[in-house]
Amino acid sequence: MKSSKVAYKPVGLALGTVSGLAASLAFKQAWRLISPDDDAPDATDENRTWREVLLAAALQGAIFALVKAAVDRAGATATRRLTGTWPG
């Protein structure tokens, strides 16, 4: 295993935590823009419609994927700048 891969592991874990927190905040803000309810519906909330539940799930998935990809890419780019090697 390359040394850059080993060195990147703890960085990747930290970035994963940060991206999860950032995505969670972004989703909450986005949900507030499209729904009068502050909290997104749970799949088992019988008082919410299928449309609401599926829209919330799709939006949350898209935001989490986008933030994760952006943070992972930025971390890999920074690692290359620091070490000269692309992690992965």
Nearby residues of 20 by Cβ (< 8 Å), 6 or more positions away: 64
pTM above 0.75, yes or no: yes
From first to last of its 88 residues, what are the pLDDT tens digits of the chain?
Answer: 566 677 778 888 888 999 999 999 999 999 999 998 889 999 999 999 999 999 999 999 999 999 999 998 998 898 889 888 888 7
Q: How far is the C-alpha of 47 from the C-alpha of 68, rounded, in Å?
A: 31
* Domain residue extents for the chain: 3-83
